[in-house]
Structures are given as structure tokens and as C-alpha cells.
Structure 1
Amino acid sequence: MSGLIAIAYFLVKLSFNLLLFALLLRVALRYFQVSTLHPAGQLIYQLTSPIVHPIERLIYSGKTSLNRYDWVTLGLIVLIDLLKFLVLGLLFHSILLPLLYLILFTVADLVTLVCELLFFMILIRVIISWINPARQHPALDIINLITEPLLELGRFLIPNISGFDFSPIIIMIILKIIALFMAAILPFNM
């Protein structure tokens, strides 16, 4: 790839991934039942509503779903990831991947994206706890809410040793191993 093509490839992939991260956060907010009045939640809902609301209106016909799982957003995540591989394959590699490969790469990419999102959320949580442990911010509330179940699992695997909590390190290593394994399935560094 030439320099300009590599830059275009990076920007197209980045735009798809940022949209997918926002949609994944929307699913997490709904799952953990974060109020729509929460300041950080409002940002995510405002960013993703132009995409999600038209489809929700079609499916639910004006009714609101009180389900804990945001099925419309999950379906959109899968469709946008499929579209990402179609666009990257056609524009930059001049190939149209077969449907079976598209599904396999989409599943691998979604697992990788979730692992990367959780990895960086835990990293942010650890850095903030070192810099200013008493800091309160609306985004940190959501980060703590989403990452705490994973860190509880890490604390179960390795309890605190002399007051040091090694659970973030253990969970981050596990998440990175899963992400690297799944990313190895993806073709030509898509």
C-alpha cells in the first residue's frame, strides 16, 4: 500500500471502529441500567441515537422495549461490522469475501473490539486510581460499573497480596491474549 492508501485505510477502519465502540458502550449502558440522565450516558445516547432510533421505531412501532438487552443496537453492531469488512475488502483489497468468511471475521472482530474496549477501560481505571484515587467523574462511574465484574473475577483468581490488587493486571493479560488470538484469524490485517 502506498502512503495515501494506508492513511485512507486507517481512517476508514478508525471511523467504523469508533462507531462500533460507541454502539458497544450503548449496549453496556442499557445492560447495566445506567440512567439516560447520566451525563456520560447522555453523550453516548446522543451520538448513537441518529442510527439506532429510526430502526427502533420500525421494529417496536412506537413502543419502548423495557428489556435489559438492546437487541436493535446489537443487530446494528453486527451489520456495521459486516459492512466494515465489505468496504475494506472492496476498496482496499479489491475482493469480495464469501459470506462464511464475512461472518467468521465479523465474530472475530467483535470479540477483539470488546476485549480492546474493556482493556482500555481497565487501563483508564488503573491510571486514575494511581493519579487521584478520590477523583469522581461521571465517566469514571460508568467505567467502574462496567469493569467491576471482571475485576471481581480477577480478585477471585488472585486475592490481594499485602494490600496490592493484581486483578487489573491479570484481567488485562487475559483480555489481550483473547484479542491477539481472535485478531490472528482476521485476514491481511483488517
Structure 2
Amino acid sequence: MGTLNSILLYLTQTAISLYLLLVFLRFLLQATKADFYNPISQFIVKATNPAVIPLRKVIPGFGGLDIASLVLAFALQVLAIASMVLIKYQVFPSAQLLLMGGVFGLLGLALNTLYIALIIMVIVSWIAPGSNQPAIHLVYQITEPVIAPIRKVIPPMGGLDFSVLVLLIGMHVVRIALYDSAAALGVLGVAPWLS
């Protein structure tokens, strides 16, 4: 692959991945019922509205979930895979590769997003507990629905909360299973969020 193709691949993947992340965060913020009036939430909503609003006319929400955002995230993941294969190998990928890569890519994105949010939460709890930063507030709102059920089973002991550690271990186990499954199906190289 030539230099021009490498640059084109990098720029294309970066643009699609950044917008995909915003769309997925929009889905996640609504699913966790995060503060809509938070400035970061407002930025995400305004940045994704041009693509999500038309989709909502065709794909309604279900059970409090923004299905249109999830479908758009999947479509962006498929577009990222198709563009990567087209630019890198000059062939159009099969429908199976696109669909499986899209599913594994979104699952990997969900794990990565939660993992980063948990790490941020842990670091902030050490250096700035009780911070009122809008970003930190959103991180807590995103992670709490996942941590709360674990905390009910394993309550904090001696001032230490082991629920985050248990969740991180569980996520790593899921990541290993996803990675091995993607490798077995031949979609590992096209699911960038799993690498």
C-alpha cells in the first residue's frame, strides 16, 4: 500500500471513528439516562442531530433506548470496515464480513468506552473526589448503572469499593471471548475496536 493510500486510510478511519464514537456516546447517554443539560451531552446531541433526527422518523426508539443512534453507529462501523478494505486491498468486502465486523466492532467499542470511563472514575476518585466537572459527572452517570448491581453483591469493605475491580475483570474475560470469536470468524482485522 502506497503512502497516499496510507494517508487516505488514516484520515478516513479517523473521521469515521470520531463520529462513530459521538453517535455511540449519544446512545449510551440516553440508555443510562445521563443529564441531557450537561454541556458535553448538549455538544454530542448537536453534533449527531443531523444524522440521527432523519433516522428517528424511520426507526423509533424502543424501551427508552435510542435505536436510531444504535443503527447509525452500526452503519458507521460497517462504513469504516468497507472503506478500510477498499482502500487497503482494492476489493469490496463480503456482506458477511461487513455484518460480523460491524457487530464485533460495536461490542468492542462498548467495552472500550466503559473501560475508559471506569479508569477515569477510579483516577478521579483518588485525586479529585466530589468533583463537579461536567465530564466527570457524565462518567459517573455512564458507569453507575453497570457498577450498582455488582455493588449490591459486593458492598464496599473498609472504605474500599471492589465492584470496579470485579467489573474490570469481567470485562477482560468478555474481551478475550470476543477477540477469540472474532479471530475464529476471520473478522479480527476489520474490527478495530477489538485490537
Which TM-score band applies after superposition, normalised by the shorter structure? 0.7 to 0.9
Deviations 1:19-78 (A, max 9, x none): 12211111122223345432221011111112212333x438xxx969621121111111
Q: What residue number does 1:15 align with?
A: 15
Which residue identity is paired with 1:188? G
Identity of aligned residues (%): 25
Is 2:49 the partner of 1:46?
no
Q: Secondary structure at the match of 2:43?
A: helix
Q: What residue number does 2:31 align with?
A: 31
Distance in 2 (alpha carbons) for counterparts of 1:14 and 1:117: 16
How has the CA–CA distance of structure 1 residues 93 and 161 changed in structure 2, closer, same or farther, with 3 Å as cutoff?
farther
Q: Return 5+ residue gaps in structure 1 as ranges.
A: none
Q: What residue number does 2:58 align with?
A: 59
How has the CA–CA distance of structure 1 residues 3 and 44 changed in structure 2, closer, same or farther, with 3 Å as cutoff?
same
Q: What residue number does 1:145 align with?
A: 141
Q: Return 5+ residue gaps in structure 2 as ranges.
A: none
Displacement of 1:148 after TM fit?
0.8
Which residue identity is paired with 1:42? Q
Contact kept in structure 2, 1:119 and 1:172, CA below 8 Å: yes
Distance in 1 (alpha carbons) for counterparts of 2:114 and 2:175: 11
Number of equivalences: 186
Contact kept in structure 1, 2:32 and 2:145, CA below 8 Å: no
How has the CA–CA distance of structure 1 residues 113 and 65 changed in structure 2, closer, same or farther, with 3 Å as cutoff?
closer
Contact kept in structure 1, 2:61 and 2:67, CA below 8 Å: no
Q: What residue number does 2:189 align with?
A: 188
Q: What residue number does 1:71 align with?
A: 67
Q: What residue number does 1:119 align with?
A: 115
Contact kept in structure 2, 1:109 and 1:182, CA below 8 Å: no
Q: What residue number does 2:84 align with?
A: 88
How has the CA–CA distance of structure 1 residues 8 and 161 changed in structure 2, closer, same or farther, with 3 Å as cutoff?
farther
How has the CA–CA distance of structure 1 residues 90 and 156 changed in structure 2, closer, same or farther, with 3 Å as cutoff?
same
How has the CA–CA distance of structure 1 residues 51 and 96 changed in structure 2, closer, same or farther, with 3 Å as cutoff?
same
- 1:95-134 correspondence to structure 2 within 5 Å: 95-134=91-130
Distance in 2 (alpha carbons) for counterparts of 1:123 and 1:35: 21
Q: CA-atom RMSD, angstroms?
A: 2.6
- TM-score normalised per structure 2: 0.81
Q: Secondary structure at the match of 2:86?
A: helix
Distance in 2 (alpha carbons) for counterparts of 1:157 and 1:96: 48
